[in-house]
Chain A
């Protein structure tokens, strides 16, 4: 299903590919910056998996293999844009400036969110498949009504593409020509459900049926993802309406740390995708074209270690919340059942109140 319809600007070996529609506009410095982002995200991912294995997180949703898709898309955004993620968008959260420790509050089970979505213009994670895609279209309708030159981008996967919410979102976005980019990371697996059960045609083809453009980009090629996303966001900002981007990639790890992929997929498939590693690809390009020295890569690795160790410290310092905080923000206005619950909890001596 890859074929010639896939937008690719760099081969897995790190060689440039020319594309008549999309030309890379990135400087060597910017490409190196994205390499750095990807290395840091992979390092944070590894650290988080270890933290889960050591009993410090309730769960972790690995992102390994999808770094280029997320960093390419994340860096194409403008600060003013707004994004609606799932629970796996750690790379996008990083690009939006969300502190890594805030990304882990959900997984430490100390919060159901973790950060201020208005501050970072990055919504809190959505776990129920596809819900956020409709929410994003609604936000985009608001942007449109405000006459603002902002774009909205929402993230989902091949699994969620089967949900009614996603398909309804396509209809609405098309009907109202909303400034939205649907960014689908097709990582080939919805837990154990293979792509073949979700769709018989390439996912990006679905967009045409709804009346807006769809494009498939090599999700392991950060340069291609960046250009394709930037183009779609620019279109959205000037009234060009929605675009569906299918970032064709692969979930190298498990769905979550609760999952065991050896039960449903073969190693040979994983091996094929390891050879398409998104980080190695951009590294090869940087060496080949920009003569980046080994020391520079070592510096990034060392920096990633420092960030990962800080994350570990921050997570270990994250205490169990006072149980009475469960009553905070359940409602915006006073509510008798909240007052009743607070009173009962204080009487039980579970919490001193606050």
Chain B
């Protein structure tokens, strides 16, 4: 198995390139994505190689980026929309919820809404307001949409291609704070289905589930817990909507204890959904109630204090301790 080391940003770039080479109907549209290569350089060089008709520098209007991608989808194109930052997706929210999510149904299956909306999400880069949000639950709650998140360069490379090939609309959440971290990418073999959860670390005492930027923090917490004698199994959800509950339930049936980590506040969140579903499925195997470690229920704070908002290793370990206090 030949692998190549690259950053998540580069892996996404390569994945987009591969998808564009494979299918002439694949377009990319967004703000500053041409010459500039996007503010995170994810589309670097793509306009040069595929032309301005396929890599479209848009006027600054998110509702129009998504709304016209809908029309392009009706016409048979597959558009990857780049939303510059999480907090800028809301002008497009109406188009995403009213059209992207519903047109396949409304047209009795005639229209295929095969489009991807890429959103750099979560915090951790010390940005100003609207640049660090976790809006995934809004989209996960909307029937007709699918939501995924990558946490490694290998997943980024494969999941972006699988999302583009998928016939349903996909909200593709990219953990921007991990864009510049390197990892091994297997250019030949995909890592499993687009919505499949992945066990990142095996353990026997507690199942900790997360996605996106939280994965690295969870893995660090798991290492520390191991030193303290607690064996943590770490699961990367990857698919946020739908969730791979089978993989999660298999783990929970083994460990009996559940912690879910997310940067979004816990009210009506992905973590809430995971805890509810798994409590129902694994009730008789559980030794403790599932706990969510989340962002607080406040607007994302000024980033000088964001590390006290985002789940930290300490807060995850604190949750692990709390579920361990229950006797099995």
Q: In the complex the two chains form, is A327's CB within 8 Å of B296's CB?
A: yes
Query: Is B276 in contact with chain A by the CB < 8 A criterion?
Result: no
CA–CA, A105 to B303, complex, Å? 11
Are A128 and B88 in touch, CB under 8 angstroms? yes
Contacts of B181 in A (CB 8 A): none
Interface flag for A107 (CB, 8 Å): yes
Expressed in whole angstroms, the Cα–Cα distance for A338 and B301 within the complex equals: 14
Which A residues touch B304, using CB under 8 A? 58, 108-110, 320-321
CB-based contact B60/A128 at 8 Å: no
Q: Which residues of A contact B309 (CB under 8 A)?
A: 323, 326
Name the interface residues of A86-140: CB closer than 8 Å to any CB of B: 87, 105-112, 127-130
Which A178-212 residues have a C-beta within 8 angstroms of B? 190-193, 197-198
CB pair A193 B32 closer than 8 Å: yes
Q: How far is the CA of A259 from the CA of B32 in the complex (A)?
A: 11
Tell me if A325 is interfacial: C-beta within 8 Å of chain B.
Answer: yes
Are the C-beta atoms of B297 and A341 separated by less than 8 Å? yes
Q: Are B308 and A330 in contact (CB under 8 A)?
A: no
B282 at the interface (CB under 8 A from A): no
- Interface hub of B61, B63, B267, B314 (most chain A Cβ within 10 A): B61
Q: How far is the CB of A341 from the nearest CB of chain B, in Å?
A: 4
B54 at the interface (CB under 8 A from A): no
B91 touching A193, Cβ below 8 Å: no
List chain A residues, Cβ under 8 A from B64: 162, 164
- B-side binding surface: helix, strand, loop or mixed? loop
Give chain B nearest CB distance to A155 CB in angstroms.
Answer: 15
Bound state CA distance, A327 and B130, in angstroms?
A: 17
Q: A165 an interface residue at 8 Å Cβ cutoff?
A: yes
- The stretch of B33-41, B187-195, B208-216, B224-232 that contacts the partner chain: B33-41
Q: CA–CA, A337 to B294, complex, Å? A: 12
State A19–B298 Cα separation when bound (angstroms).
Answer: 53
Interface membership of B126, Cβ < 8 A: yes
**Which residue of chain A lies nearest to B90 when distances are taken between CB atoms in the complex?**
A128
Tell me the complex Cα distance, A192–B126, Å. 22
Given contact pairs A198-B59, A348-B318, A127 touches B36 in the complex (Cβ within 8 A): no
Query: B126–A58 contact, CB under 8 A?
Result: yes
Check A58 against B57 for contact (C-beta < 8 Å). Answer: no
Besides A109-B302, A323-B301, A326-B308, 6 new A-B residue pairs in contact (Cβ under 8 A), listed by A number: A107-B128, A162-B61, A164-B61, A193-B60, A321-B304, A322-B305
13 inter-chain pairs at a CB distance below 8 angstroms, sorted by A residue, are A110-B304, A127-B87, A160-B60, A163-B91, A190-B60, A193-B60, A197-B58, A323-B308, A325-B301, A326-B296, A326-B305, A326-B308, A330-B299
Residues of chain B touching chain A, judged by Cβ–Cβ distance below 8 Å, are: 31-32, 34-37, 39, 57-61, 63-64, 87-88, 90-91, 126-130, 265, 267, 296-299, 301-305, 308-309, 314-315, 318
